[in-house]
Structure 1
């Protein structure tokens, strides 16, 4: 089994319009070629978290049945990309028209607003149901922050050119994948949560087979792999960022989303469910 559990293909009457609209948004962005900098990538971080929030709301049955398939995996990623892409396009035109000082500011503020509103809805619903449990999610964010800081300092000292070239985009990649690793480890070792991704489960089971599992759990190996993978990707992208920064940072933003999205999904799901 290669695909994760919960992978859902929605009905054609939802799938086709989403694919067409997503393709149109991508084509328009390709045509207008908006700049992609560190600030642009950071501005899209709330959108990555927003997509995770939508999927959590789907898991707690917050959407009407008629539109529920739009928020399954992987459809929720396409829906989020459409919304973020439209906001990005609007931001470009507002900037060109002199109504916005910068494009990233508009994109970031809009994404933060979407994420905050939908997250608060999920939290209020969990309070009503009595399922609000923030302790371990908060601990996971703190641990991820500490591990990210240590990893970034190590990268800056030993591979200074990689850290300097990838900048804030690289830091976001490391944090996103570290938080994903930490939340997965805590979920597996402490909260008895299952793991849907087969490859991730193999790593967790490998950690469980080690003698250290009885003392520090199985998840530490998964955290180590995620951090090493993120830093390795940054090393491979260094020259690409120097030669084609717009394309390279766009791809690194996608790499960051692959880590930060599932990580925020875990944090919020453990909090509300």
Structure 2
């Protein structure tokens, strides 16, 4: 058994496993279309994208045909398989499994290139995390344009590339292309470190994406500009991250021992997500924003539980989303504390990528929520 494991190339085994899973899905969808495609893939993954990308309240799948519904009553009364925009428990868990599996594949790739061990790699990827949230907001703006004018800014199914889970692949391939170009630039002697052009490309695509939202706000009546949301969110997150750094350095320096300023950025990113949710869900009216509802399973559960346990008078005064912010801050600090020198020494590429992924799962949605509120989408 040991000889067999020694002969197996982990990278090739990963590719084989990925191809096997893809083949199982494709073959299952062809052989058992109603059970595998309609009942699993469409219901939990593509159906929510269809409903979201077309601006529908829900999408209904019966007999291999899809119908779009535009009222909550129709969705509640619909038979067959009904998919609504947003996440489900199954899709959330599936994305988590796929994320971990994908991280393993990227680790093998980084090891082949012999990169991804320095903190500069982490910071160079930071603009791409913001870019992912901004790109998702572009699709939100497209739907807002559809509802206001009857024509989307980006037509479906192209807009599906900007909706979960497919937006992850879009952002991944943009980042991968930037990484390959940057590594090539370093190895040709054009730059001293590949992190510099990588960060520059990330900043460029982020600027273009946010610039497009600004252009829509200036040239149409669909989007507005409300800078207070961005100021409160990013400013508040910066204050929380600074206090967390000072507090842990003074009373629990072991928390930051291995991650350093990378840990500060993790706390900042998840605090952005927490503050953006609190502002969007509980203070939308005071800030002159549209009405928002939680789309994430955990967020929705926390809001529901707080509303059930908290006195109505308190809920009316401070809202019900505030515990989500505390959970995000606490979880981020815990994760930063878990990362120690031993973890980075055993598998530096995997540890670095895992830290990137932890920041991205908070900062991506947080950026989207912040930009949606900032542009009144």
- Contact 2:278–2:321 (CA<8 Å) still a contact in 1? yes
Gap regions ≥5 residues in structure 2: 1-43, 54-97, 143-152, 285-290
- Contact 2:255–2:333 (CA<8 Å) still a contact in 1? no
Corresponding residue number in structure 2 for 1:201: 300
The structure having more radius of gyration, on CA atoms, is 2
Instruction: State the secondary structure of the residue aligned to 1:165.
Output: coil
After TM superposition, which residue ranges in structure 1, 4 or more long, deviate above 6 angstroms? 3-6
CA distance in 2 between partners of 1:157 and 1:94 (Å): 42
CA distance in 1 between partners of 2:324 and 2:346 (Å): 32
Selected match of 2:164 from 64, 73, 76:
73
Corresponding residue number in structure 1 for 2:49: 8
Corresponding residue number in structure 1 for 2:138: 57
Report the CA distance between 1:162 and its aligned residue: 2.5
TM-score by length of 1: 0.86
Instruction: State the secondary structure of the residue aligned to 1:8.
Output: helix
Matches for 1:97-116 after TM superposition, within 5 Å:
97-116=188-207
Report the CA distance between 1:5 and its aligned residue: 11
Question: Structure 1 37/119 Cα, relative in aligned 2: closer, same or farther at 3 Å?
Answer: same
Judging by fraction of residues, say which structure has more helix: 1
Matches for 1:83-162 after TM superposition, within 5 Å:
83-130=174-221, 131-162=224-255
**Worse-matched range after superposition: 220-229 or 202-211:** 202-211
CA distance in 2 between partners of 1:215 and 1:97 (Å): 60
Corresponding residue number in structure 1 for 2:120: 39
- Contact 2:273–2:363 (CA<8 Å) still a contact in 1? yes
Corresponding residue number in structure 2 for 1:248: 351
Aligned length in residues: 260
Cα RMSD, aligned residues only: 2.5
- Contact 2:299–2:324 (CA<8 Å) still a contact in 1? yes
CA distance in 2 between partners of 1:183 and 1:244 (Å): 34
CA distance in 2 between partners of 1:4 and 1:205 (Å): 24
Q: How far does the alpha carbon of each residue in 1:157-215 deviate from its partner, in whole angstroms, 9 at most, with x for none?
A: 23212213111221111111011001001111011411101211111223333244343
Report the CA distance between 1:75 and its aligned residue: 0.8
Question: Structure 1 252/6 Cα, relative in aligned 2: closer, same or farther at 3 Å?
Answer: farther
- Contact 1:183–1:263 (CA<8 Å) still a contact in 2? yes
